[in-house]
Amino acid sequence: MIAYDLKCAQGHVFEGWFDDEASFLSQQKQGLIACPICNEVSVERIPSTFAIRSAGAASGPEAPPAEAVARRLVDFIRHHFEDVGSDFAKEALKIHYGVSSPRNIRGSSTPQEEETLRQEGVDFVKIPVPAPPESDA
Looking at beta carbons only, is 10 or 86 nearer to Zn ion? Answer: 10
Per-residue contact flags (x/-) with Zn ion for residues 17 to 56, judged by CB under 5 A? ------------------x-xx-x----------------
Does residue 26 contact residue 65 with C-beta atoms inside 8 Å?
no
Residue 46 belongs to what H/E stretch?
strand 43-46
Amino acid at 93: L
Looking at beta carbons only, is 40 or 114 nearer to Zn ion? Answer: 40
Site for Zn ion in 63-122 (CB under 5 A): none
Q: Any idea what DSSP says for residue 110? A: -
Size of interface with Zn ion, in residues (CB under 5 A): 7
- Give the residue, chosen from 10, 23, 26, 110, that forms a contact with Zn ion under the rule CB under 5 A: 10
Helix (H/G/I), strand (E/B), else coil: 2: strand
DSSP per residue, 7-19: EETT--EEEEEES
Residues that bind Zn ion (CB under 5 A): 8, 10, 12, 35, 37-38, 40
